[in-house]
Structure 1
Amino acid sequence: MPTTDKRIQADYRNRINRVFEFIEENLDSDLSLTTLSDIAFFSPFHFHRVFKFVAGETLNEYISRKRIEKSALDLLHKSITATEIAHRYGFSNISSYSRAFKKYFGVSPTGFKKQNPYKHSKIRQLDSKNEQGHPNFEKYICIINNLNNWIQMNAKIEIKEMPMMDVAYVTSIGPQNLESAYKKLIQWATPKGLINEHTKMITIYHDSFKVTQANKVRMSASILLNKKIETAGEVAQNTINGGKFIVGSFEIGLEEFEKSWTGLFLWMNENGYQKANSEPFEIYHNNFNEHPERKAIVDFYIPIQ
């Protein structure tokens, strides 16, 4: 980063957080360098350098990737046409969208939607890490049935109306940095009296492991706030929109998180629900290190329309 002062670095990350949020909410808009550098209060030149350091890719690479990946999730989870999706994510026409999509995924949007959903899901990792290629249809059905059975045995699933929730958070790019983000958040929150036995830790997922490389998935390591509080440095505030959610309650080992998410999205699709545009998240109810079997007691939330 263009400075070694930790306080300035934290301030820079906070400013880039605002840009992340703006991009997320305006993928259909003209996300120009000038507009985004103004949001971050940087000169365009300085902003380019800082953004690449924080995000790990250039601004144009990040915006293009987000548009394509978000559109792919819409193709998987929503009953809308590729043309509608193209306009939703700022493409001038279906041809330019199709070219960009095929360059990224190696298949057209229509082909992506028609393909066996197994290919674009973490379900394929639940079979065998030594398996080459994708299984046949019968094997796919067997895996789906096994996953459905596992979910029925290990999850309590409800549809809930949730209120708006205010959180303080630290951004993590990639799961490899999530623990560090929580440490920074707790270090900030503890002297303010925000950490106690009732504190709810929340991980918000701004990207999906289905379509985004793991080391580029943006997450917010968060705590639930019961009052407005001033944040600074890398710690920022955000709001989880209220609304209707699928809530899956689990008591699972750390190695079962992926299976749980996959199963919950499968349950969503098979029960006729469509994901809303806001982000899924996890709320933790214990410290898994203190559990006799090192299990996490956790609720998974998928926002639905």
Structure 2
Amino acid sequence: MHINDENPYVEQINKVQDYIENHLDKHLTIKQLSQIANFSEYHFQRIFGFVTGESLYRFIKRIRLEKATYMLLADKERPIIDIAMSVGFVSQASFAKAFKLKYGISASSYRKINGVINEINSIEENFNGLDMSIEPLNIEIRSEKATNLIYTRYTGSYKGDSELFSRLFYKLYHWANQRKLISVDSRWFVIYHDFGNETDEENLRLSVCMSVDRNIAISGDISVLTLSEGLYGVGSFMVDSSEYRKAWYYMYTKWLPNIGYKLDDRFSFEHYPLLEMQGDKRLVEIYIPIV
């Protein structure tokens, strides 16, 4: 069972998932995580599995490995042991065993086979024969400060499902509007929590978010998180519902390989400076984390 509107434990499980993602390099214990969720240790793992559809242990291990695969390609000069430790493995041996069990090859082989050029070629092959042409309005490097957000999260397949995105935006807008949280300074985002193409469709996660400038009493499946500060490459595009992937394609295959920056391991996301539609198109900014 995936996270959904009807589940009464969404808020607590979201909070645990956010904590795990922000502390992958730490030793994570059931006692610690159950306290964050405000469950007893006895019930916590069962509730986590019931809500997410995967065990707590599998979730933590999967996120660690998927982030590691992303980092292997994002910075090809970074030592593998450094990557392994940064995502919470206690030794290179334990990382090597887990990595090979999941992907069938060593991390060093994965890095060689799936280098940036091959990754781009793979992306291009996926769109072979399709018109992926699009021109950005502007591309710039921005330094973003940490930003507090409220969000609603979805787990499962979402690619190309414009009705799903509209429903999630409306739900968050309605919740925020009832509490008079929306202002001219409010910013709207979609954060993608998964790295690269290694995550199964059923485990994909996204959060539709709105910035807030004060502490919020959350309820139901509305939760809070902090958008990471740092440098981002930001491409501005006017898109209709079928053109979002073209904007992402442009940023990763046309812009990123030529700028001299490296991908960072923070999440990529979309920012909507104008939430309202302009005809059949909408202004969207694609944020790519860089260092």
Q: With structure 1 as the length reference, what TM-score do the two structures score? A: 0.80
Q: Which residue of 1 aligns with 2:155?
A: 173
**2:221 aligned to 211, 229, 234, which one?**
234
Quick check: 2:71–2:265 contact (8 Å CA) kept in 1?
Answer: no
Structure 2 portions without partners, runs of 5+: 159-163
Q: In 2, are the aligned partners of 1:161 and 1:243 still within 8 Å (CA)?
A: yes
- Aligned residue for 1:89? 87
Q: Deviations along 1:197-250, whole A, 9 cap, x unmatched?
A: 764321111213422123312221111224443222211222213332111101
| TM-score, length basis structure 2 | 0.84
Q: 1:102 is matched with which residue: 93, 96, 100?
A: 100
Measure the CA separation in 1 of the matches of 2:88 and 2:20.
12
- Correspondence for 2:73 among 63, 71, 76: 76
| Distance (Å, rounded) in 1 between the aligned partners of 2:196 and 2:290 | 19
Measured in 2, the distance between the counterparts of 1:164 and 1:91 equals 27
Counterpart contact for 1:122–1:210, Cα < 8 Å: no
- Give the Å deviation of 1:40: 0.8
In structure 2, C-alpha distance between the alignment counterparts of 1:238 and 1:66, rounded to whole Å: 18
Against the structure 1 CA distance between its residues 107 and 262, is the aligned structure 2 distance closer, same or farther, given a 3 Å change threshold?
Answer: farther
Contact preservation (8 Å) 2:150, 2:222: yes
Aligned-partner Cα distance in 1 for 2:54–2:167:
21
Q: SS of the residue aligned with 2:243?
A: helix
Change (3 A) 1:88 1:270: same
For 2:29, the equivalent position in structure 1 comes to 32
The alignment yields a C-alpha RMSD, in angstroms, of 2.7
Identity %: 32
* Contact 1:122/1:258 (<8 A) preserved: no
| 2:30 is aligned with 1:48 | no
- Note closer, same or farther for the CA distance 1:50–1:124 as it changes in structure 2 (3 Å cut): farther
**Inter-partner Cα distance in structure 1 for 2:114 and 2:216:** 47
2:189 aligned partner: 202
Aligned to 1:273: 261
CA deviations over 1:178-204 (Å, ceiling 9, x no partner): 554434322311212234676432111
Gaps of 5+ in 1: 130-145
- Change in Cα spacing, 1:196 to 1:93, as seen in structure 2 (3 Å) is closer
Tell whether 2:56 aligns with 1:59. yes
1:272 aligned counterpart, secondary structure: coil
Q: Which has the higher contact order (CA 8 A, sep 6+)?
A: 2
1:142 matched to which residue of 2? none
The structure carrying a bigger helix percent of its residues is 1
Matched, 1:114 2:102: no
CA distance in structure 2 between the partners assigned to 1:61 and 1:174 by the alignment: 16
Structure 2 CA distance, aligned partners of 1:25 and 1:43? 22
1:268/1:56 Cα in 2 relative to 1: closer, same or farther (>3 Å)? same
